[in-house]
Amino acid sequence: MTNAIPWFLLIAPLLSAVTIFSSLLRAAKPAALLSIAACAVSFGIAVAIKMGALLPPVPMTWIEIPGLLVQIGWQNDELSQLMLLVVTGVGLLVHIYSFAYMEGDKGYARFFGELSLFMFSMLGIVIANNFIQMFIFWELVGLSSYLLIGFWFEKDSAAAAAKKAFLVNRIGDFGFLLGIITFWTLTGTVAFNPEAWSLPGNDSQAVVSLVTILDQKPELTTLIYLMGLGLFCGCMGKSAMVPLHVWLPDAMEGPTPVSALIHAATMVAAGVYMICRVYPILALSGILDFIANIGMLTLLIAAVVAVQQTDIKRILAYSTLSQLGYMVMAVGFQAPGAAMFHLTTHACFKALLFLGAGSVIHAMHHEQNIFKMGGLRKKIPLTHWTFVIGTLALTGCPGLAGFFSKDEILVTASHPLHFAVALLTAGLTSFYMFRLYFVTFWGEPHSEEASHAHESPAAMFVPLILLAIPSVLLGFPQLGLGHAFFHFFHETFPNSITFPDAHEHGLNIIVAGSSVIMFAIGLVGAYMLYGNSPKKDTLPNVALVQNKFYFDAFYDNVVLTLQQLMARMLATVDYWILGTFMVRGTATIGSLGGELLRLFQTGNMQTYAFLFSLGAALIFYYTLFS
Amino acid sequence: MNYLHLLLLLIPALAIAAIVLRACPKTTATVATAANFLLSVVIFFLYVQHQAANPGGSLMKPFDFDAPWAALPGLPTIHLHFAIDGLNLPLIILATTVSLAAILVSPADCKRNREFFSYLLLMSLGGIGAFLSFDLFFFYIFHEFALIPTFLLIGIWGPQNRSYAAMQITLYLTLGSLLLLGGLVLLVLSVPAEVRTWDMLLLQQNLLVQLKDVSARGDVYTHFIFAYPLLLIGFGILISLFPFHSWAPAGYAAAPPGAAMLHAGVLKKFGVYGLLRIAAPLIHLPTTSINDPVYVSWAGWAGMWQIILILLLVGNILYIGFVTIAQKELQTMLGYSSVMHMGYLFLGLVAFNQVGLCGVVLLMVAHGLSAALLFGLAGEIQQRTGENRMDKLGGLATQAPMLATFFLIGSMASIGLPGLANFSGELLIFMGGFQTYPSVTFLAVWGVVISGIYQLRAVAKIFYGPKPAPLPNAPEVTDLTFTARLPYILLIAALFLFGMAPQILLQIVQPSISKLLGGV
């Protein structure tokens, strides 16, 4: 028997989801416990795999026809092992947190079923060893995200946000699918196995390497560029890069634990994980500059918008967008190791911040406007202190995790513009996060709810504490996380095209110094403007920022209107011209013909005799005289 | 030789006779279709076993019945030739599954129920017979045979707008059949009298032999020039090829759910199957010489029709896709959506390579299952609310969560979500399509976005949002009862099975596709 135990990484959450949906929908607590247990099993397997106690199983064949082999396999390397730990670790804490947070909701069991479905799909992405497997689970996380955003589907806004998330992601997936198909057409494989791409002419596997193709058929360079663009499209959808970012802020309609797990720590990071996984392909296709620029754009736009938001979850959502921009930009800087490092630390502190925000919202009886809070620091001290840690980690306070991982990205920015924007955004991040912090926690309570706020139950604050620890420690060079990622990429893809100037970066005094200065500027600025926790925004509203640079307005008005117009127009054409004029018209001609011929059927003997003789006369005429 | 597969025809025929002789209609029909369903599963296992025992594919088919039936003066003898291979077996499984589901969703006590269930069984019989027949005469006749009950089912039991829709669908499809008949006859006549046959496989072999013969070749190609367009448009009308699709949305909206399920799910696949088996290979038959002027003119002509088909299939996907977005009535929208999905099948057919054609067979099965599921559920919604305009519905998920879940699964299948059968079919078609026509495939893949738009919009409009204020006279909306769930669970289980393990079907489809490609 082959080693089947590791498959329980996927089977456990899948079984949990199936069991809950088929028989436990009315049993709230058993469903939750089952789901938590399933997640714990996955976490255990992830740890065992990392420790080497379990070996990855042999792949299973999904489709096998001549010319196409698709397997469900397990890519077991440093990258997937660490990502598995992040997903199952944060996942487990969020499961436990939700046990208390979702208390009393009538969809309690359904929530945990959908959460298990998400774990199943997300873990499938992480262990994918080929494009098709990744795409399968890629779409499935899209489904679970759709279900969880629309968890409160009775609310029109939640239903609309769910639909929007799914459709925007589908646009990204459209490109992703085309990219995958192009890759398969060019190389004859869908596998991630890096030897298959970077070693020229590996005939034993009937694989033509991209390097060879680029060498021998320069005319395909454009196609390969488009392929890279397509693959990156998938990342733009899932990781919410400009201009496909619009779904993520709306996704905050989902329950807060969902926002923490899916829309901050793991699923949105799947795009970054994917482009790191296939990094050499993107490097070869020459698309890295484009990736860096898209990342920079997202980074800046999202940070600027975050400065003027008032909803606690939306501020964090824009912050997530902005941090994802950092990661994507790092891949564009040929530093996938830095991107993965930041992904890992970000998963911890952003989950911490979202769960903290959930705790605040819980204490505030579902009020999410920060200007209606205030003074919470004394009411909910535990939440407050963990939130402080999360904020410091995110803003890049020296010594915390975010400082190290962000620094590694800044160091790799070679173009002055990229560096300037990254540095500026570091300041903006510090500013909007401390704005959020001061307004929420300092000063006096601004509302009835704020003055009666109570600390959340243990199931909620224990995960906060457990997340706060890695948010502090994970970045330290002594822990070696950053080095681990760096070495992984440079050892797995040792190719001059993929890493032209490969050298390990240490801590750069100038870069670190300027990032600390930006952190301080943001902190001081926020303190001066918001330190007394004002009741409304001290900065004037800027229409451009308030309207999020008009992306949503553009999509809702121009794109949607055009689409509706086109649909109505074609439907009218179809109904009137094809359905009525052509089809009914043909039928009418037929029946008119019948009517016409009926005129001759008079039933009058003389008429028939006349017509008969007329016809006979004509026939005689033709036979005799022509 | 094993004749087990003949029971597939005998069982529904006997059931019809029993119903005419006053047996309880729904029970009889249920028993018969359930038996047929189990039988097709048994046949599947026997077939797989046979294939495993004969690696490399021996010529002998495990299920093959061939007997002369009628000798015609001047024409080849018509045979009763029913056999099973890797191309029709998936469709037979589809047909028996959907038939069972269609019988189960139909109300036992509808008006004139004796006739109603007989006609449904007749439709099922016609579909299965057409797929089983390797003799072109019966292949054609069985399909025609199924059109008559379709007409009656819409005309007598249709919920709305029935008489016009019944007339339109019948006249339109009869027109398609007529063109098809012309094409088939021309094809049979294209070889010299002594090698003429109605047998589709034998005919293809004879064509190959004739094409190798320099003196006979010209005549064959001349026949092709007329036969191919007739076959393409004839089958095309039956598949609702753009712009010959108007019958589909109108007809399905006016049909009782059981009839819509059987037609959209099963009978529509007859055309695709015919194209795959008979028409599409004509273009790709190998030739020994390219200097033959008749061949050159045929090749140019065939290339032109290939381009026309490409344009039309893009119309099927993009044009119909947009039209679907604008639809307001649920059944009409589902009708258009099923027209749109036919575009993918045409893409696989024009690509005509291993991967693409395997995808075509997979998607035929998957689409049949998912379309039947959605049409069935649409019937449930209309029956519960008395409403089929999506704007007037809303919030049904709170009142009927199971109905909502099933509809969501059907929608996800229809838009090609992995894990459900449609995805693997669409994926293979896109991959195969890209190998031959990358830019057409680029356009076709937009379909995944468009279908997402209309399908999710329908889900949101019907099921999400606040619970609507109860209408004055409308009864409280109830969820599906346990027995009412069974047909949908059957279809959903099949969608999951073929979605999670497409290799189940591919293991029998792929050798037959190889044979089809190797034969041409």
Quote the Cα angle for A346-A350-A356, to 5°. 155
Q: Is B489 on the interface with A (CB under 8 A)?
A: no
Look at residue A179 and tell me whether its pLDDT is greater than 90. yes
Q: Is B287 on the interface with A (CB under 8 A)?
A: no
Query: Between A and B, how many residue pairs show a Cβ–Cβ distance under 8 A?
Result: 132
Check CB contact under 8 Å for A140 and B431. Answer: no
Q: How far apart are CA B194 and CA B197, in angstroms?
A: 9
What is the model's pLDDT at position B161? Answer: 79
CA distance A361 to chain B (A): 24
- Which candidate in B361, B409, B417 is best for mutational testing of the A interface (most A CBs within 10 A)? B417
What is the model's pLDDT at position A53? Answer: 87
Check CB contact under 8 Å for B322 and A171. Answer: no
Q: Which residues pair with A70 in a beta bridge?
A: A63
**Chain B residues within an 8 Å CB radius of A173:** 448
CA distance B216 to chain A (A): 35
What is the model's pLDDT at position B470? Answer: 64
Q: Is B293 on the interface with A (CB under 8 A)?
A: no
Identity of the residue in A154, A166, A184 whose CB atom sits nearest the CB atom of B465: A154
Q: pLDDT, tens digit, for every residue of A323-334?
A: 999 999 999 998
Q: How far apart are CA B456 and CA B316, in angstroms?
A: 20
What is the model's pLDDT at position A204? Answer: 37
Look at residue A498 and tell me whether its pLDDT is greater than 80. no
**Chain B residues within an 8 Å CB radius of A253:** none
Q: Which of residues 438-497 of A touch B (CB under 8 A)?
A: none
Q: pLDDT, tens digit, for every residue of A523-577?
A: 999 999 998 888 888 888 888 888 888 898 888 888 889 999 999 999 998 888 8
Look at residue A472 and tell me whether its pLDDT is greater than 80. yes
Q: Is the peptide bond before B257 cis (omega within 30 degrees of 0)?
A: no
In order along chain B (520 residues), what is the average pLDDT of each group of 10 residues? 86 93 91 96 92 69 85 85 92 97 91 91 95 94 92 89 86 92 92 88 86 80 90 95 91 93 94 94 76 82 93 95 94 95 96 94 97 96 88 88 94 95 96 94 95 95 82 73 92 96 94 82
Q: How far apart are CA A136 and CA B455, in angstroms?
A: 20
Q: How far apart are CA B430 and CA A599, in angstroms?
A: 56
Q: Is B323 on the interface with A (CB under 8 A)?
A: yes
What is the model's pLDDT at position A202? Answer: 41
CA distance A254 to chain B (A): 14
Q: Is A524 helix (H, G, I), strand (E, B) or coil?
A: helix
What is the model's pLDDT at position B297? Answer: 84
Backbone angles phi, psi at B389, to 5 degrees: -85, 125
Tokens of B357: 């054609």
- What's the start-to-end Cα distance of chain B, in Å? 27
Q: Which residues pair with A72 in a beta bridge?
A: A60
What is the model's pLDDT at position B496? Answer: 96
Check CB contact under 8 Å for B423 and A139. Answer: yes
CA distance B246 to chain A (A): 5
Q: Which of A274-278, A494-498, A503-507, B155-159 ranks highest by mean pLDDT?
A: A274-278
Nearest Cα to B235, choosing from B286, B196, B182? B182
What is the model's pLDDT at position A301? Answer: 94
Say if CB A370 and CB A361 are below 8 A apart. no
Nearest Cα to A512, choosing from A422, A404, A391? A404
Q: Which of residues 567-606 of A touch B (CB under 8 A)?
A: 567-568, 570-571, 574, 578-579, 582-583, 587
Q: How far apart are CA B444 and CA B455, in angstroms?
A: 17
**Chain A residues within an 8 Å CB radius of B444:** none
Identity of the residue in B418, B435, B446 whose CB atom sits nearest the CB atom of A139: B418
Q: How far apart are CA A379 and CA A375, in angstroms?
A: 7
Identity of the residue in A140, A171, A582 whose CB atom sits nearest the CB atom of B419: A140
Check CB contact under 8 Å for B323 and A563. Answer: no
Check CB contact under 8 Å for A139 and B358. Answer: no
Which whole-number Å values give the CA distances from A76 to A2, A79, A91, A125, A607, in the listed order?
16, 8, 20, 12, 93
What is the model's pLDDT at position B469? Answer: 67
**Chain B residues within an 8 Å CB radius of A563:** 322, 325, 453
Identity of the residue in A63, A66, A185 whose CB atom sits nearest the CB atom of B434: A185
Identity of the residue in B172, B424, B449 whose CB atom sits nearest the CB atom of A171: B449
ipTM score of complex? 0.93
- Which candidate in A65, A244, A583 is best for mutational testing of the B interface (most B CBs within 10 A)? A65
What is the model's pLDDT at position B62? Answer: 80
Check CB contact under 8 Å for B448 and A132. Answer: no
H-type alpha helices, B64-161: 88-105, 113-132, 136-157
Nearest Cα to A533, choosing from A384, A354, A353? A384
CA distance A159 to chain B (A): 6
Taking the model in full, what pTM does it have?
0.93
Say if CB A389 and CB A473 are below 8 A apart. no
CA distance A180 to chain B (A): 9
Q: Is A166 on the interface with B (CB under 8 A)?
A: yes
For tokens 């330190």, the residue is A531
Q: For residue B383, give every residue at least 6 positions away whose Cβ sits within 8 Å of its Cβ, in sequence order, or none.
A: none
What is the model's pLDDT at position A235? Answer: 95
What is the model's pLDDT at position B290? Answer: 66
Question: How much is the average pLDDT of A342-360?
Answer: 94
If you measure CA to CA, which chain B residue comes closest to A580?
B246
Look at residue A203 and tell me whether its pLDDT is greater than 50. no
Check CB contact under 8 Å for A181 and B430. Answer: yes
